[in-house]
A and B are shown apart, each in its own frame.
Chain A
Amino acid sequence: MAQLRQDVDEFVKRNAEIVVVGPENARAFAAYWQKHDLPFIGLPDPTASVLKLYGQEVNLFKLGRMPAQVIIDRAGVARFVHYGHSMSDIPANSELLAILDTLNQES
């Protein structure tokens, strides 16, 4: 989350809303958001309903779900989908920002 946090202004400039979904409960989210001063929407999903809807990978040997990122354009279409294979398998901010630039140029 620190990686996203440092470039949040760049995401805002590109008319992007960052929405974070995780399996922890609301209390854990609230504490984490406060501690790290995160300006994102944080959605606790302890029943994993959305995690399952989006097919987030579960790696039983690494104790849980791997990170995933989806960029959805203003028409509601998934334009970038990345399912990580490890906890550190996360695209660079520059990659996400470049995709947002492309989407904004289309409209």
Chain B
Amino acid sequence: MSKIALNTPAPDFTLSDFQGRRVRLADLRGKKNVVLIFNRGFA
């Protein structure tokens, strides 16, 4: 479980959002900057 390094490709992943839509990080490539936030407490 190593931390990711600056200026290296961000690991791609696919997850379903809370409405069941598939979201793949790579699909945003070439279109958007991504602010990826890890947090907890959404209850």
Q: Interface size on A (CB < 8 Å)?
A: 60
- Main secondary structure, interface of B, reads loop
Quick check: A32 and B43 within 8 Å, CB to CB?
Answer: yes
- Main secondary structure, interface of A, reads mixed
- Residues of A near B23 (CB, < 8 A) are 19, 41, 43
Residue pairs across A and B with CB atoms within 8 Å: the count is 161
Quick check: A78 and B13 within 8 Å, CB to CB?
Answer: no
Known contacts being A16-B33, A104-B33, is A78 close to B8, with CB within 8 Å? yes
CB distance from B11 to the nearest CB of A (A): 5
- Residues of A near B30 (CB, < 8 A) are 74-75
Residues of chain B touching chain A, judged by Cβ–Cβ distance below 8 Å, are: 1-13, 15-20, 23, 25-26, 28-43
Residues of chain A touching chain B, judged by Cβ–Cβ distance below 8 Å, are: 1, 4, 11, 14-24, 26-33, 40-45, 49-57, 64-65, 67-81, 83, 87, 96, 100, 103-104
